[in-house]
Amino acid sequence: METIYFAGGCLWGVQYFVKRLPGVISTEAGRVNGNRGTLGGPYDGYAECVKTVFDPEKVSLEKLLEWFFEIIDPFSIDHQGMDYGHKYRTGVYSQNPDHLNRVRDWIAAQSDSQRIRVEVLPLTSYTASAPEHQDRLDRCPRDWRLCSIPRELMDRPRKA
């Protein structure tokens, strides 16, 4: 199993989407690459993200990236859908340098790669979100109104 972290705006929608992808074993909503314990609070500087454990024998990292790019605006900085602010930036983070190189190569191969503003950085810190944020859209269907990712895009079947 391998682990990678996807930041794509509000973590509720990203987790709902990612956990349904073929080859994904588990997900956890959290915060990545921030400054824990600063004056701004426990999440200061963090990006909302989804910790994603996947089986590389069942799905490639490149396929996960292709699907992830379906639900984000990769050209936007600190903004996804109705969510604005640095915590809603897009990014892919990992402790595995090979993952980061493959992500950079995948982005470079895109026709509009010069416009893409997705962070690709080593994981420096991670903290899990509170239980109320875990699997939020599954537990609280009324909160779908707060999600900027279209439901039909989220629930479309995908094959590895």
Phi, then psi, of 33 in degrees rounded to 5: 55, 55
What is the rounded distance in angstroms from the CA atom of residue 110 to the CA atom of residue 124? Answer: 27
C-beta of residue 148 within 8 angstroms of C-beta of residue 51: no
Residue 131, judged by CB atoms within 10 A of its CB (0-12, 13-18, 19+), counts as: exposed
Closest Cα to residue 65, out of 16, 112, 21? 21
Tell which residue, 138, 159, 151, 149, has the closest CA to residue 90: 149
Q: Would you please indicate which residues are annotated as catalytic (active-site) residues?
A: 10
